[in-house]
């Protein structure tokens, strides 16, 4: 029987109304974007009121490739369930208020060929790090299939091997979902996030720790493979929750990055 994962955080992290959700995302995408579409992006995964405008810079950069990109490999950290290695899903689709996104069964089978990749529905059921990216992808792209991967503590070499197997050509987009610093004073968060951005632009995987990014494990894999493929990383936008909350304590940092 076909199995669809329903949205878990609609109405909390983003609007549950399709009309309100589409309008909000379109506002975030209405930023100037020039140059070729990236092969990979890194985007934050907080509630849209906090990080949606930052994420919009990365998704707007996909503009000229919206019809060409047919497959999205989406990686993010686990927040709800402990994950060893990488967890994918046996569902046939993930749903949002904007509709369903079909899972790429062929690519998922490729991923499952690695010993450190397994199917774990519990890892996806309440996980927001992947879900909040889907409405953005639905507005920024035409038809595409999804390879959802929740990543636990995984050695960089294993993630490089997995991403290389799924790398594909111009039809495949790699998306890493990650916030930056967590629960710092705002000035300290901004300084740490600038250092993280420098490490990302240098493709310095070893410099990224859990203190720099909650999605440090998939981010490390992307940085190492981007270096191997000769890609360049660019910081598109930086921000933090303090800009919305108005308080300088317990700030979470957000960044958007493109890899060409």
**CATH at 174:** 3.40.830.10
Q: What is the pLDDT of residue 2?
A: 62
Q: How confident is the model at residue 1 (pLDDT cuts 50, 70, 90)?
A: very low
- Burial per residue of 162-197, b for 16 or more beta-carbon CB atoms within 10 angstroms, e otherwise: bbeebebeeebbbbbbbbbbbebebeebbebbeebb
Q: What is the pLDDT of residue 148?
A: 98
Higher per-residue pLDDT: 117 or 251:
117
Q: What is the pLDDT of residue 103?
A: 98
3-state class of 212 per DSSP?
coil
Domain count, the chain: 1
Angle between the 133-140 and 18-29 helix axes, to the nearest 10 degrees? Answer: 70
Domain housing 205: 32-259
For residue range 63-98, list pLDDT tens digits in order: 889 999 999 999 999 998 989 999 999 999 999 999
In a domain, 234, yes or no: yes
Burial class (CB in 10 A: 0-12, 13-18, 19+), 143: exposed
203: left (phi over 0), alpha (psi -120 to 50) or beta: left
In a domain, 171, yes or no: yes
In a domain, 83, yes or no: yes
Q: Does the pLDDT of residue 218 top 90, yes or no?
A: yes
For residue range 174-212, list pLDDT tens digits in order: 999 999 998 888 999 899 999 999 999 999 999 999 999
In a domain, 178, yes or no: yes
Q: What is the mean pLDDT of residues 108-125?
A: 97
Q: Quick check: 116 and 86 in contact, CB under 8 A?
A: yes
In a domain, 6, yes or no: no
Q: Quick check: 47 and 124 in contact, CB under 8 A?
A: no
In a domain, 4, yes or no: no
In a domain, 9, yes or no: no
Q: What is the pLDDT of residue 243?
A: 84
113 phi/psi in degrees, rounded to 5: -70, -20
In a domain, 254, yes or no: yes
């Amino acid at each position: 029987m076909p199995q669809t994962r329903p949205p878990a955080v609609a109405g909390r992290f983003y609007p549950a109304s399709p009309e309100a959700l589409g309008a909000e995302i379109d506002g975030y995408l209405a930023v100037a974007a020039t140059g070729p579409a990236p092969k990979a992006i890194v985007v934050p995964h907080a509630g849209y009121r906090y990080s949606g405008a930052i994420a919009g810079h990365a998704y707007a950069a996909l503009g000229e490739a919206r019809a060409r990109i047919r497959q999205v490999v989406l990686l993010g950290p686990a927040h709800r369930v402990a994950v060893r290695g990488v967890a994918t899903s046996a569902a046939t689709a993930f749903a949002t208020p904007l509709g369903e996104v079909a899972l790429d069964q062929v690519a998922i089978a490729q991923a499952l060929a690695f010993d450190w990749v397994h199917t774990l529905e519990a890892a996806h059921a309440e996980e927001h790090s992947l879900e909040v990216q889907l409405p953005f992808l639905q507005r920024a792209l035409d038809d595409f299939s999804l390879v959802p991967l929740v990543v636990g503590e995984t050695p960089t070499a294993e993630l490089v091997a997995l991403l290389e197997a799924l790398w594909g050509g111009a039809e495949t987009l790699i998306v890493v979902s990650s916030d930056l610093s967590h629960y710092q004073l705002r000035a300290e968060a901004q300084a740490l996030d600038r250092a993280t951005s420098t490490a990302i632009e240098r493709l310095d995987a070893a410099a990224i720790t859990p203190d720099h990014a909650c999605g440090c494990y998939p981010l490390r894999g992307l940085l190492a493979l981007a270096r191997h493929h000769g890609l360049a990383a660019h910081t598109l936008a930086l921000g933090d929750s303090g800009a919305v909350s108005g308080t300088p304590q317990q700030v979470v940092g957000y960044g958007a990055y493109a890899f060409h």
